[in-house]
Amino acid sequence: MSELLSSTHPFLSSLAGHLERFRGKRLRPVLVHLSAKAFGGEAPLAAEVAAVIEMIHLATLCHDDVLDDAQTRRNVPTVNAQWGNRAAIITGDFLFSRALERLGRFEDPRPYRIISRAARLVCEGELLQIGARFNAGLTEEDYHELITKKTAVLFGAATQLGALLAGATDDEGRRMEAFGRGLGVAFQVVDDCMDLTGVEASAGKSLGSDFRNGELTLPVIHLLTSARPGLREELLREFRPGQANFERETLQRHLQSCGSIDYALDVARRELNRASESLETLPPSAARNALQNFPEYILARTR
């Protein structure tokens, strides 16, 4: 990835260096490699495909941070906090275009086909989220479609391509895509719970922006449907553009009293259980064991 982002221009080099400080757990590249190893070994294109997928993920983070006015990402200033919104937007665009340019040079057409489709769905999911802002009627089904496109399809592309590049059949690739997609849905549900109840120092990023920005997530959807009428009306008064009275601690108490965080985490567990079924046909290996441990790792982020 460093090679793909290298530049002789000082400003572009400084941007690339700053993006390197966003180094997180790189779950999507890990899933590419583990899925490849689960089907017999390291695939020749796995490293480059993993880098391309991570670049697309980073592009979405740059854009998300502008939309959310986030100031920190993985305990360092966001691109928009450091250089402004214009630079952050163009940086995201640059990451997208550089990733697709590299995909176009592969002789194997499958990475381009699968990742370009995932990138399109990610953008579609982001637009659905923007279009649904301050829509108190958003349903769980709407939310599931939104996060599947926004987050889960890139997880699915990672596991599918890792398998295919290592020699898996198309049917095996589809099962691995279902596994990754289920992981991605659960990951986003957990992430949305953390935005409401997490601690910024531990999370390494700005929290509490979803409700303030008019983005309904699963815990709040559950809260709005299960709260007594008086509380629901109070929440809806807060859930309007320009409201400055949002108190994260107050919302946390309501979520706790209505069991909304527990409800969302139960949904995440069901998604992970369904996803794990896709691994049952894999032969025993260290890679399979690592993939089977992913659900517990995702849930452990809440503890």
In a domain, 124, yes or no: yes
In a domain, 52, yes or no: yes
In a domain, 152, yes or no: yes
pLDDT band at 303 (very low <50, low <70, confident <90, very high): low
How many degrees, rounded to 5, is the angle at CA 34 between CA 185 and CA 274? 35
Separation in Å, CA 265 to CA 28, 189, 192, 200, 271: 21, 7, 10, 20, 10
**For 81-105, what is the mean pLDDT?**
91
235/294: higher pLDDT: 294
Question: What single letter denotes the amino acid at residue 24?
Answer: G
pLDDT band at 271 (very low <50, low <70, confident <90, very high): very high
In a domain, 162, yes or no: yes
Helix, strand, coil abundance in the chain, percent, nearest 5: 75, 0, 25
Q: In whole angstroms, what is the distance from residue 84 CA to residue 93 CA?
A: 15
Closest-CA residue to 125 (of 181, 70, 75, 43): 181
Q: In whole angstroms, what is the distance from residue 120 CA to residue 12 CA?
A: 25
In a domain, 56, yes or no: yes
Q: What proportion of the chain, given as a percentage, has pLDDT over 70?
A: 94
pLDDT band at 207 (very low <50, low <70, confident <90, very high): low
Q: In whole angstroms, what is the distance from residue 198 CA to residue 207 CA?
A: 7
How many degrees, rounded to 5, is the angle at CA 157 between CA 153 and CA 163? 145
Q: In whole angstroms, what is the distance from residue 131 CA to residue 214 CA?
A: 10
- Could you give the 3-state DSSP secondary structure of residue 72? strand
- Could you give the 3-state DSSP secondary structure of residue 26? coil
In a domain, 2, yes or no: no
In a domain, 5, yes or no: no
Helices (H), 69-138: 79-83, 85-103, 110-131
Q: How many domains does the chain have?
A: 1
For residue 260, give its domain range: 11-300
CB atoms within 10 A of CB 37: 21
* pLDDT value for 43: 74
CATH number of the domain where residue 183 is located: 1.10.600.10
- Cross-strand bridge partners of residue 248: none
* pLDDT value for 206: 54
Q: Which DSSP helix (H) or strand (E) runs through 203? A: helix 200-203
**Upper half-sphere CA count for residue 245 (Cβ side, 13 Å):** 7
Closest-CA residue to 264 (of 202, 197, 200): 197
In a domain, 1, yes or no: no
